[in-house]
A and B are shown apart, each in its own frame.
Chain A
Amino acid sequence: MTEKPKIGVYVCHCGINISATVDVETVADYALKLPNVEVARTYSYMCSDPGQSLIKNDIREHGLNRVIVASCSPRMHEPTFRKAIKEAGINPYYLEMANIREQCSWVHHDIDEGTAKSKKLVAASVAKVRLLEALESKEVDAEPSALVIGAGIAGIQAALDIADAGFKVYLVEKTPSVGGRMAQLDKTFPTLDCSACILTPKMVDCASHPNIELLSYSEVEEIGGYIGNFDIKVRKKARYVDFDKCTGCGDCAAECRVKDRFPSEFDMGMGKRSAVYLPFPQAVPAKYTIDPESCLYLTKGKCGKGPKCAEVCQAGAINFDQVDETVEFRVGAVIVATGFDPFDASRKPEYGYSDYPNVITGMEMERLVSASGPTGGKIKIFNGKEEIEPKEVAFIKCVGSRDESVGNEYCSRVCCMYVAKQAHLLRDKLPDANIRVYYMDVRAFGKGFEEFYDRVRRENVRYIRGNPSEIFKRGDKLVVKVEDTLTATPLEDEVDLVVLGVGLEPRADMRQTMELLRLSQSPDRFFLEAHPKLRPVDTATDGVFLAGCCQGPKDIPDTVAQAKGAASSAMIPLARGKVVISAQVATVDESTCRGCGFCVNICPYTAIELVTVNRFGHEVEVARVNEALCKGCGSCSPGCLSDSIQPKSFRDRQILPQIAALGVFK
């Protein structure tokens, strides 16, 4: 090292967040006695403008070349202080932060302990900062396009916004049609817009938008690279129907030999579909798909004298030889919008969902009330003898939400309102029925929600406070056993139809997406955002964003708002056309590297390769790091026999002094 380190140590009070449990003056006085420390100060808020100016002035006046900020987590303000010291003319990587808030003042009560620990952390930072190296972050071009995974309302909205801004979007949807859960809904609370009426135009837009490439019935298989340059591999599953030839006429489904034999996913199993099918009439793209699990020809190898669908298709679109196709492309940003699964009601056996056909879920109710549903919107049920219109209807809320017995502590945020909505829709269709709602609490928090709930109650819908313990059968009636907790009365209400207000759960197949993108889960098991308040659509991986219910339960307005947020964040690298890639990558000392190649095998990013160099007249192999591919994890380093490969800023010679500094306090 050429220049002698001159260190400034800045201890933050953070109001009283730190100073209540850490004697910041003592810490600063102590720091001043450490080697190479020229200045040590405290200030109420280091991150504030005056706080930053304090540091910058010291850099200029005292000629500091290293800075330590003892304050909050580097995960919070490292970028802030890097920028500040850079503005004062020193390399942004000559900064070290001592985390004396999240990992000290907030977790310890005793001021002596807090102060002692802060001293150690500052000493370790001094030990390290002296040996840091100047780094230059590099800019690389960003691909001006985005990938959106999942085409529910979240994915559709995000894709449309990005495409409207002029960037190319690849929208990947697992099922044959876009639309997600919203497409299955009848009306939407609190305004009662018809779901299809507001959604269908958007579905059509995203399929016809010149900037959107819709990959339906497809799944992302691989994601490599980094922000600005993600390399994507998508598998387009074989539909066994030629996408370009299919006119969507439906002759195939009408003539299918196993016509209307299979439960329709879209109608929650209450309606039936053929083996070749369109999930629902407004499906986008309006192209038929042959389900390989139900098609006779594809399962048995034989369908009568020959597949009927192929026979009747005028366009000649049926093609049983079709195979899965792989498409590859590069994008600058990724938005995850994979949505949710409704809670599986059979996990609450006391409610008899698996035993009694007239115990249904809220999702099934949506299909039942829908004019496009399996009953054409008529509320008809079979009571074991005949088809009847239910006279007594019970809704049960919080099924699978706020329920630790099924592992879901959280509130699903939409059930209170969709139950109110469905009660209203039933009231319209069944003016004389008794409609009851069993609830723990009513959470009508959104815009227009309380008003809507009030309206529904005035429509003679009875709200009974109590969490039913059991549902059983008595004659042709269902009995809801519950205690009305407001009057402390045990009730056994006889009803014809029970609707379970099932909550929202993380998708059962979310692991796949997690592993593709290295995403984490929050305690509720939904995807974890980078910061619960300030970075609600970001993830820990730069360039990867979250939208909609995959991040947590939410209604459509919140989903759309978040999708728009994710879209605008994703557009930042696309619009700039450049991204900064981390300077903290691994580097090889070629003079000591023996070219054994261990690091090459360890690296999960294939960022290291062996190259031949001339060393003192001899051709030798040494490892070399591709800085664009290296992510700086440092796993290679402990595997190196000669300690030649080292991650910058986390080199042995930078970490060992930290360890040593923490040890002297015996």
Chain B
Amino acid sequence: MSDNYEPNIVAFLCNWCSYAGADLAGTSRVQYPANIQVIRVMCSGRVNPLYVMNALQQGADGVLVSGCHPGDCHYMEGNFYARRRLGMLKDLMEFVGVDPKRFHMSWVSASEGHKWKEVVEKTVEDAREAGPFEGFRRRQIDW
């Protein structure tokens, strides 16, 4: 692992809580590492666990999924589905030999700009520790 290794993180954020929380971090000018790229979905329940594996396969070193706090889902139950599905995925990842540090799940509400920063820092730090991901054969985007 070289010293200037910067992990590449893909994050899936629900529109109503976490994406809004990340926007609030911006409005509040909170600073955090630039390693994270966000894909907006309407609900964390929309995140297919395969997306996480797919991201790792495509070149991400870490993946984050963030939604509304349990009980606060804009769609009532979506984040419960996310929690179930992705919790299972986490176990499976360990089983197939992917360092579970590469995958984080969090609950960030629309008012938690500062929490968003902490979540990003933790995710980046853990992915940095885990090192570049070489586990799967890479596929490049086929434009």
Interface string of A112-145 (1 = CB under 8 A from B): 0110110011001001000000000000000000
CB contacts under 8 Å to A, within B4-31, are: 8, 10, 15-17, 19-20, 22-23, 25-27, 29-31
B15→A75 contact, CB < 8 A: yes
Interface: B135 (CB within 8 A): no
B8→A638 contact, CB < 8 A: no
Instruction: For B77, list chain A residues within 8 Å (CB).
Output: 604, 635
Which listed residue, B17, B22, B81, touches A602 by the CB 8 Å rule? Answer: B81
Residue of A nearest to B48 (CB): A638
Instruction: For A432, list chain B residues within 8 Å (CB).
Output: none
CB contacts under 8 Å to A, within B54-85, are: 54-55, 57-60, 68, 71-78, 81-82, 85
Which listed residue, B42, B50, B68, touches A650 by the CB 8 Å rule? Answer: B42
B48→A103 contact, CB < 8 A: no
Which listed residue, A121, A638, A639, A663, touches B58 by the CB 8 Å rule? Answer: A663
A665→B8 contact, CB < 8 A: yes
Cα separation A154 to B71 with both chains bound (whole Å): 28
Which listed residue, B31, B42, B110, touches A109 by the CB 8 Å rule? Answer: B31
Cα separation A210 to B10 with both chains bound (whole Å): 57
Which listed residue, B37, B72, B75, touches A633 by the CB 8 Å rule? Answer: B75
Instruction: For A631, list chain B residues within 8 Å (CB).
Output: 75
Instruction: For B142, list chain A residues within 8 Å (CB).
Output: 660
Interface centre among A35, A106, A121 (most CB of B within 10 A): A106
User: Number of residue pairs across A and B with beta carbons under 8 Å?
Assistant: 174
Interface: B49 (CB within 8 A): yes
Interface: B38 (CB within 8 A): yes
Q: A113-B34, A514-B72, A631-B75 are in contact. Are A655 and B39 (CB under 8 A)?
A: yes
Cα separation A604 to B57 with both chains bound (whole Å): 32
Interface centre among A120, A521, A659 (most CB of B within 10 A): A659
Cα separation A635 to B43 with both chains bound (whole Å): 7
Instruction: For B10, list chain A residues within 8 Å (CB).
Output: 659, 662-663
CB contacts under 8 Å to B, within A500-535, are: 514-515, 518, 520-523, 528
Interface: B141 (CB within 8 A): yes
Q: A635-B45, A635-B46 are in contact. Are A666 and B59 (CB under 8 A)?
A: yes
Q: A106-B29, A638-B49, A663-B59 are in contact. Are A655 and B41 (CB under 8 A)?
A: yes
B23→A633 contact, CB < 8 A: no
Cα separation A657 to B54 with both chains bound (whole Å): 10
Interface: A102 (CB within 8 A): yes
Which listed residue, A75, A99, A647, touches B38 by the CB 8 Å rule? Answer: A99
Instruction: For A666, list chain B residues within 8 Å (CB).
Output: 8, 59, 132, 138
Q: A120-B37, A663-B58 are in contact. Are A637 and B46 (CB under 8 A)?
A: yes
Residue of A nearest to B109 (CB): A520
A102→B75 contact, CB < 8 A: no
Instruction: For B38, list chain A residues within 8 Å (CB).
Output: 99, 103, 121
A74→B40 contact, CB < 8 A: yes
Q: A514-B72, A584-B42, A637-B48 are in contact. Are A106 and B109 (CB under 8 A)?
A: no
Cα separation A99 to B75 with both chains bound (whole Å): 24
B47→A518 contact, CB < 8 A: no
Instruction: For A584, list chain B residues within 8 Å (CB).
Output: 42
Q: Chain A: interface residue count, which band?
A: 35 or more
Interface: B140 (CB within 8 A): yes
Interface: A299 (CB within 8 A): no
Instruction: For A665, list chain B residues within 8 Å (CB).
Output: 8, 59
Cα separation A393 to B78 with both chains bound (whole Å): 55
Which listed residue, B16, B23, B132, touches A102 by the CB 8 Å rule? Answer: B23
Q: A107-B26, A656-B54 are in contact. Are A638 and B141 (CB under 8 A)?
A: no
Instruction: For B60, list chain A residues within 8 Å (CB).
Output: 659, 662-663
Instruction: For A637, list chain B residues within 8 Å (CB).
Output: 46, 48
Residue of A nearest to B81 (CB): A635
Cα separation A35 to B142 with both chains bound (whole Å): 11
A520→B110 contact, CB < 8 A: yes
CB contacts under 8 Å to B, within A630-657, are: 631-635, 637-639, 647, 650, 652, 655-657
Which listed residue, A518, A520, A633, touches B42 by the CB 8 Å rule? Answer: A633
Interface: B106 (CB within 8 A): no
Q: A103-B26, A662-B60, A664-B59 are in contact. Are A632 and B37 (CB under 8 A)?
A: no
Residue of B nearest to A112 (CB): B34
A664→B46 contact, CB < 8 A: no
B55→A662 contact, CB < 8 A: yes
Interface: A110 (CB within 8 A): yes
B76→A101 contact, CB < 8 A: no
Interface: A57 (CB within 8 A): no
Interface: B143 (CB within 8 A): yes
26 A–B contact pairs at CB < 8 A? A73-B26, A99-B40, A102-B22, A103-B26, A106-B29, A107-B25, A107-B32, A124-B39, A520-B109, A540-B74, A541-B74, A604-B76, A635-B46, A635-B75, A635-B82, A638-B46, A638-B48, A638-B81, A655-B41, A656-B51, A659-B39, A659-B55, A659-B60, A663-B8, A663-B141, A665-B59
Given contacts A634-B46, A666-B132, 18 further A-B contacts (CB under 8 A): A35-B143, A73-B19, A102-B22, A117-B34, A117-B37, A127-B141, A604-B76, A633-B75, A655-B41, A656-B51, A660-B58, A660-B139, A660-B140, A660-B141, A662-B10, A662-B55, A663-B55, A664-B141
> Lowest 3 CB-CB distances: which A-B pairs, in order?
A663-B59, A102-B26, A663-B58
